[in-house]
Chain A
Amino acid sequence: MKFISEYRDARLVLQTLSEIRRTVTQPWVLMEICGGQTHAIMRHGLNQLLPEEIELVHGPGCPVCVTSLELIDKALAIASQPKVIFTSYGDMLRVPGSDRDLFSVRADGGDIRVVYSPLDAVKIAQQNPDQEVIFFAIGFETTAPANVMSVLQAKSLGLKNYSLLVSHVCVPPAMHAILSSPFNRVQGFLAAGHVCAVMGYWEYPPISQKYKVPIAITGFEPLDIAQGILATVRQLEEGRAVVENAYPRAVTFAGNQPAQAVIQQVLMPCDRKWRGIGTIPHSGWCLRPEFSDFDAENRFPVRQIQPQESPVCVAGQILQGLKKPFDCPAFATICTPQNPLGATMVSSEGACAAYYRYSSESVRN
């Protein structure tokens, strides 16, 4: 496959890894932001081939993992209503809320459908005018353009039965939160390439300057990740801290401006609760007042649902790079993908699920 196989070329990956070994002289802690990168690292076993000086910690960039318990409980409440079709990406169905998950609601008769795109949810709304159709709009900047397009499409079609349960989160505020934590260990970032494909990377130089951390915009194939690590380590070894684009085939400085424009048109910044981390100011997006008709929280009485999340859930520390899955005594013993205790074990982008699925026997036991 063009643009994929070249970036999985074993010879080029191994060359870049040798270059990293030649460059590194001291220990460094790097965080890959995106859960997709965490999975690529584990799936291709890149972590086994890195020099021991480099420690990769896994960031908060798994949209399923960071979606707050409150929003999951709201989703469960809405999906249980009669005359409702609740649509979602598949991963969300297994995330446990306070007492059950969306699969359980479906087994109890709830009409819950997995879709691959929010535009499919709009089609379902067109085909079922007598039912309320809700799309669970989770995700980072990457999924936002498609989600807002579904709202604009529903509006132009005059649909009155389509709404979003919005749980959008943004990367830069999370990086600020991690870097300003007194427990922060992260010295360099592999920024999430697909987020930057939409947003560009104009938001990142101020972060790099303020906290003196190198940031490499990084893709998702083994060679991309190795190149992102090399770019970050070079800067650290040379005492520099700037933003570098190690994913130029997909990312430009300005990003996808038409996509940013539609996001601006429909969404606005808001405070957002992150599961296991807490509320981060201005870290999310919600619908602008002129689109409030498309907000599921205005259509269903769910605003009072505010479950208490534990402040000490290990998943939160994993999402901030403070802990690794192996540090958790429940990992792979009582907490498995079949029986997940936390969202990081559920999502196909979750760090615990990545470790569970791909880690070699020597490290798993």
Chain B
Amino acid sequence: MSNKEDESTTIEGIVCPVPLTHNRKIVLGHGSGGKMSQDLISRLFLPRFDNPALRAGDDAGVVQTSEVDRLAISTDSHVVWPLFFAGGDIGRLAVCGTVNDVAMMGANPQYLTAGFILEEGVEMSVLERIVASMQAAAVEAGVQIIAGDTKVVQKGKADGVYINTAGFGTLSPGISIGGACARPGDSVLLSGPIGDHGIAVLCARGELGFNAEVLSDIAPLNHLVAAMIQAGKSGYPQNAIHVLRDPTRGGVATALNEIARQSKVAIVINEKTIPVRPAVAAACEMLGLDALYIANEGKLLAIVDPEAVDQVLMAMRNTHYGEETVIIGRVQESPQGRVLMKTAIGSTRVVDVLAGEMLPRIC
């Protein structure tokens, strides 16, 4: 190698274009649920609002309301477009998304609030359909919508209907579930095939030139979670469910990375065991997407004590939304904060978080 070449590879020699960190204006990637969203939270929101519940970085904040009672609280805004798609709509999403965030703490979601931002000119029948869908989802989840708000903005100032929901649920004594609770040796469970929601929404936009027959998986997972907690308790000294997370924006890859980082462990998953429906896999191949990064709205990841994994798995498979549950990997000590995947041909690769925007506005 010549000296000239050596010089060009020193750090001073790298004069690639200047880095663009997008810290001047909000770009879509800030809402993707991936690395840019995390940066926004850790740099802007967390320093201002800092408190232990928020700092935990879980799907819902848990607070002690009396000596024995704890409450899990979460909020989520829904801006999905289009409003209706195969397998669901913004109303079902707004209820299930928040129910699931509360349930992921092991809490029993009971009450929701709903705030509507409506664009002038939205058809009343559209709003009626959405509200009926919210009612059906609330009945299915067993929650009540106890407070609400409606704002209408001028035409062009919003895109049809946006819905914010907040959810509240009580936590039984002794339950300790959170992103920081994974331990080496634990098993990683996934409640069914991935990528359905993201691909269903993408198809509903009608921009792909093809239509995959995929239904969104939107579902309330609180009954599944209750069955898991019950199974994790029986015949076992401590709570066997360590972490629950619903892999929404950023998909399974991003959710597992969050857990690995919060728990300071490594998570190793096995490519062959991760279920993807053929239509989703085919759509991903055509679009160059990776199902591991695509949003789900009716699936959960569970990190479970290895001694209780059989009974938890059986309990999950006995529920409607958990019948396709599989074990996809396990937790190990190192490399800390990383997710690795054993490929089908026996090599190992890193599974990283979603960098920025992959599919805009899927929830």
Contact B282 A1 (CB under 8 A): yes
Residues from chain B with Cβ under 8 Å of A314 in the complex:
8-9, 13-14, 16
Residues from chain B with Cβ under 8 Å of A44 in the complex:
343-345, 347, 349
Contact B340 A360 (CB under 8 A): yes
Residue from B17, B35, B281 in contact with A98 in the complex, judged by beta carbons closer than 8 Å: B17
* B208 CB-CB contact with A under 8 Å: yes
* B10 CB-CB contact with A under 8 Å: yes
Q: Complex: how many Å from CA A42 to CA B26?
A: 32
Comparing B65-73, B213-221, B350-358, the segment that makes contact with chain A is B350-358
Residues from chain A with Cβ under 8 Å of B128 in the complex:
none
* B124 CB-CB contact with A under 8 Å: no
Given contacts A116-B208, A330-B14, A335-B16, contact A312 B8 (CB under 8 A): yes
Residues from chain A with Cβ under 8 Å of B44 in the complex:
none
* A254 CB-CB contact with B under 8 Å: no
Residues from chain A with Cβ under 8 Å of B27 in the complex:
103-104, 106-107
Residue from B9, B17, B355 in contact with A342 in the complex, judged by beta carbons closer than 8 Å: B17
Interface string of B321-360 (1 = CB under 8 A from A): 0000000000000010010100111111110100110000
* B25 CB-CB contact with A under 8 Å: yes
Contact B19 A341 (CB under 8 A): yes
**Which residue of B is nearest A108, CB measured?**
B25
Q: Complex: how many Å from CA A100 to CA B27?
A: 13
Residues from chain B with Cβ under 8 Å of A103 in the complex:
20, 22, 27-29
**Which residue of A is nearest B15, CB measured?**
A310
Contact B9 A45 (CB under 8 A): no
Chain B interface main SS type: loop
Interface size in chain A (residues, C-beta < 8 A): 62
Interface string of A293-336 (1 = CB under 8 A from B): 00000000000000000101111010000110001111000111
Interface string of A32-46 (1 = CB under 8 A from B): 000000000011111
Given contacts A322-B5, A328-B9, contact A339 B345 (CB under 8 A): no
Contact A10 B349 (CB under 8 A): no
* A8 CB-CB contact with B under 8 Å: yes
Residues from chain A with Cβ under 8 Å of B338 in the complex:
361
* B146 CB-CB contact with A under 8 Å: no
Contact A360 B348 (CB under 8 A): yes
Residues from chain B with Cβ under 8 Å of A94 in the complex:
356
Give B351 Cβ to nearest chain A Cβ, in Å.
Answer: 8
Q: Complex: how many Å from CA A74 to CA B15?
A: 20
Q: Complex: how many Å from CA A244 to CA B285?
A: 26
Most A CB within 10 A of own CB, among B14, B29, B209: B14
**Which residue of B is nearest A11, CB measured?**
B345
Residues from chain A with Cβ under 8 Å of B278 in the complex:
1
Residues from chain B with Cβ under 8 Å of A14 in the complex:
345-346
Residues from chain A with Cβ under 8 Å of B8 in the complex:
312, 314, 317
Q: Complex: how many Å from CA A46 to CA B9?
A: 27
Contact B17 A341 (CB under 8 A): yes
* A359 CB-CB contact with B under 8 Å: yes
**Which residue of B is nearest A315, CB measured?**
B16
Residue from B11, B29, B39, B349 in contact with A358 in the complex, judged by beta carbons closer than 8 Å: B349
**Which residue of B is nearest A48, CB measured?**
B347
**Which residue of A is nearest B17, CB measured?**
A96
**Which residue of B is nearest A96, CB measured?**
B17
The 7 closest A-B pairs by CB, nearest first: A45-B347, A342-B16, A96-B17, A312-B8, A310-B15, A337-B355, A341-B16
Residues of A within 8 A of B (CB): 1, 4, 8, 10, 13-14, 42-49, 69, 94, 96-101, 103-104, 106-108, 115-117, 120, 183, 222, 310, 312-315, 317, 322-323, 327-330, 334-342, 348, 356-361, 364
Task: Known A-B contacts: A117-B209, A317-B9. Give 4 more (CB < 8 A).
Answer: A10-B346, A104-B22, A360-B348, A361-B335
Complex A-B: 15 CB contacts under 8 Å: A1-B278, A1-B285, A97-B17, A104-B27, A107-B27, A314-B8, A330-B11, A330-B14, A330-B16, A337-B352, A339-B20, A348-B288, A358-B349, A360-B348, A361-B340
